[in-house]
Amino acid sequence: MIRGLAGVLATLLLLAGAAAAVPVDETTVHDVAAQLRCVVCQSLSVADSPSETASQMRGIIRERLAAGESPAEVRAYFVEKYGEWILLAPPKSGFNLLVWVVPFAGLGLGLVLVAVVLRRWSRKIPPGAPAGVDPALRERIRREMSETESP
């Protein structure tokens, strides 16, 4: 299905006079566009935005992919023109590593905390050590409880 569509696209491009060196998969265009921020909308990706600017940007993405550029190169081009801001998720380098690492570090810390709390609860001495209970009493309770309500 996707390959068929790429074929349609390639044909259209040829008809339009542009020689498509590489058949472009619409899914790839969508994937790259989904990582770029639409410059005229608030927080929408270029893939989702219905604006003209986004549509033109998708066209440029398609062109560059067709010319043989890799998705990473297309992304780098946009970063060169608009700055890091254009990427919807900060690149995993330098200061930006912080945003990727902190949530997971926080989670790890939390797990450690949970373990500590659980251990502390286990070590607590109960308020009164349970005395030996008469088995008859236990049986009576069980019988009476099953007579009234089931869990």
Q: Name the minimum Å distance from CB 85 to another protein.
A: 5
Contact letters for another protein, residues 99-128 (x by CB under 8 A): xx-xxx-xx--xx-xxx-xx--xx-xxxxx
Nearer to another protein, 68 or 83 (CB): 83
**Maximum pairwise Cα distance, the chain:** 94
Residue environment code for 106-120, b if the CB has 16+ CB neighbours within 10 A, otherwise e: eeeeeeeeeeeeeee
The pair of three-digit structure tokens given for residue 105, joined into one six-digit string: 């570090």
Window 2 to 21, contacts with another protein (CB under 8 A): 4-5, 8-9, 12
The pair of three-digit structure tokens given for residue 43, joined into one six-digit string: 């927080």
Nearer to another protein, 72 or 149 (CB): 149
Interface with another protein (CB under 8 A), residue from 11, 22, 73, 138: 138
Distances (CA, A) of 103 to 97, 99, 110: 11, 7, 10
Q: Name the minimum Å distance from CB 78 to another protein.
A: 8
Contacts of 20 (CB under 8 A, 6+ apart): 9, 10, 13, 14, 66
Window 30 to 89, contacts with another protein (CB under 8 A): 30, 34-35, 37, 39-40, 42-45, 50-53, 55-60, 63, 78-89
Give the number of residues in contact with another protein, rule: CB under 8 A. Answer: 79
